A and B are shown apart, each in its own frame.
Chain A
Amino acid sequence: MAQYKNFAVGVMLMMTCLLAVADSTVVVRDAWVREAPPGALVLAAYFTLENQGSKADKLVAVLCPDFDKVEIHATEIRNGVARMIALDALPIPPHAVVKLAPGGQHLMLHRPRRALTAGMRIKLELRFDSGARLTVLAPVRRAESGAVHQH
Chain B
Amino acid sequence: MTRKALISVSLVAALGIILVLGYLAGRTFRDPARAITVAGMTVLEPASPLPEFRLYDQNNQVFDRTRLQGKWSYVFFGYTHCPDICPTTLVVLRDVQKIAGGKERDIQYVFISVDPERDNAATLKRYLPYFHPEFIGATGGQGELMRLTRALGAYYESGEARNGSYEVHHSAAIFLIDPEARLRGLFAGPHDAARLAQGLQRLKGG
Partner of B99, one of A36, A82, A110, A148: A148
With most chain B CB atoms within 10 A of its CB, the pick from A38, A73, A77 is A77
Nearest CB on A from B12, distance (A):
50
Which size class do B's interface residues fall under? Answer: 35 or more
Nearest CB on B from A8, distance (A):
43
Quick one: CB contact mask for A82-125 with B, threshold 8 Å, 1 for yes? Answer: 11101000000000000000111010111000000000000000
A151 to B101, CA, bound (A): 11
The answer to the question of A10 belonging to the interface, with a C-beta cut-off of 8 Å to chain B, is no
Nearest CB on B from A33, distance (A):
10
The answer to the question of B92 belonging to the interface, with a C-beta cut-off of 8 Å to chain A, is yes
Chief secondary structure at chain B's binding surface: mixed
Closest to B122 in A: A39
Quick one: CB contact mask for A7-20 with B, threshold 8 Å, 1 for yes? Answer: 00000000000000
Which size class do A's interface residues fall under? Answer: 20 to 34
CB pair A34–B87 under 8 Å, yes or no, is: yes
New A-B contacts (11) at CB < 8 Å, excluding given A37-B87, A40-B83: A38-B126, A38-B130, A42-B82, A44-B87, A80-B188, A82-B170, A103-B84, A143-B88, A144-B91, A145-B94, A147-B95
Binding site for B on A (CB under 8 A): 34, 36-44, 69, 73, 75, 77, 80-84, 86, 102-104, 106, 108-110, 143-145, 147-148, 151
